[in-house]
Amino acid sequence: MTGNIKVNREGEVQVISINRPEAFNAFDHDLISDFSDALVAAAKDGEVRGVVITGTGKAFCAGGDLKSILDFKGGPGAAFHALAFFFHRAILEIRRMGKPVIAAVNGTAAGGGFSLALACDFRIMENSASLRQAYTSAGLCIDGGGSFTLPRLVGLAKAMEIVAFDRPISADDALKWGLATRVVEDGEALPGAVAMANELSNISLHSFAMMKRLMTDSFDTPFETQIERERLALVTCGEHPDGLEGMKAFAEKRKPVFNKQKK
């Protein structure tokens, strides 16, 4: 792994920092490959109960490095084909990971950085941070699952407005539109995200993983199929140690203690 990705452990929280501040954390082939690997490692690590993604310097992530794409030997099409392979692997890992993933948006999140932030379960934005889809202003098309997540977060009409006019979205507007979970003072996105991840580590990760998968899959699943998946997931949760602990704690009028077993 190159120095373009930093991985630090804060208790049970894995902090993955995109570390290319001189390029506003724009990703090239090596960076996005390493980023994807870091997410896979966090998902597999039984000691990790939450993941925080952030950027170093003034930006969260400026998306794909267009200069490196223009300089790519096989041309822009081949560059995007290779880059999107690892980027989409990372996005899928976020959506399939049975742990909370929080974006600590410390600065501009544009292009692929915009889609990356939207793919996370929660987004904590600093006051001066902003979101911008940026693709259409460069004559490009959104990737990283943005065409899936954006209209589901803000509605189709607002999503079309965002992609058509490509205006920067302030932290206050992001909160108002449902694109941000919380807005904090500048410099507080990372500690705020780590605190949120630690708070979430007290809930049942098994239950969270089941709910996350059900909700992610619900948008393209017929109703009858979805409620059958709910029934099967409920049976699985009821037989899991966390489910048994939660029901016993309720009956005994005490606070449950979850996650006694490693994932």
Residues 58, 132, single domain; the answer is yes
The two three-digit tokens of residue 240, written as one number: 């899991």
Instruction: Say what the pLDDT of residue 263 is.
Output: 47
Q: Which pLDDT tens digit goes with each residue over 20-60? A: 999 999 999 999 999 999 999 999 999 999 999 999 999 99
Q: Is 40 left (phi over 0), alpha (psi -120 to 50) or beta?
A: alpha
Residues 157, 242, single domain; the answer is no
Exposure b/e, 147-179, CB count within 10 A at least 16 = b: ebbbbebbeeeebeebbeebeebbbeebeebeb
Instruction: Say what the pLDDT of residue 74 is.
Output: 86
Predicted confidence pLDDT, tens digits, the chain (263 residues): 669 999 999 999 999 999 999 999 999 999 999 999 999 999 999 999 999 999 999 999 999 999 888 888 888 999 899 899 999 999 999 999 999 999 999 999 999 999 999 999 999 999 999 999 999 998 989 999 999 999 999 999 999 999 999 999 999 999 999 999 999 999 999 999 999 999 998 899 999 999 999 999 998 889 999 999 999 999 999 999 999 999 999 999 999 999 887 54
Instruction: Say what the pLDDT of residue 56 is.
Output: 97
Residues 121, 213, single domain; the answer is no
Picking from 200, 216, 239, the residue at the C-terminal end of a domain is 200
Residues 114, 16, single domain; the answer is yes
* 103 domain residue, yes or no: yes
* 99 domain residue, yes or no: yes
Instruction: Say what the pLDDT of residue 1 is.
Output: 61
- Which residue from 259, 225, 260, 214 is spatially nearest to 96, judged by alpha carbons? 214
The total domain count for the chain is 2
Residues 106, 223, single domain; the answer is no
* Full domain range(s) for residue 242: 205-251
- Which residue from 118, 120, 101 is spatially nearest to 169, judged by alpha carbons? 118
Residues 16, 125, single domain; the answer is yes
Residues 60, 160, single domain; the answer is yes
Residues 54, 91, single domain; the answer is yes
* 217 domain residue, yes or no: yes
Residues 38, 64, single domain; the answer is yes
Residues 143, 244, single domain; the answer is no
Picking from 200, 215, 239, the residue at the C-terminal end of a domain is 200
* 241 domain residue, yes or no: yes
Picking from 200, 218, 235, the residue at the C-terminal end of a domain is 200
* 260 domain residue, yes or no: no
Q: Which pLDDT tens digit goes with each residue over 164-193? A: 999 999 999 999 999 999 999 999 999 999
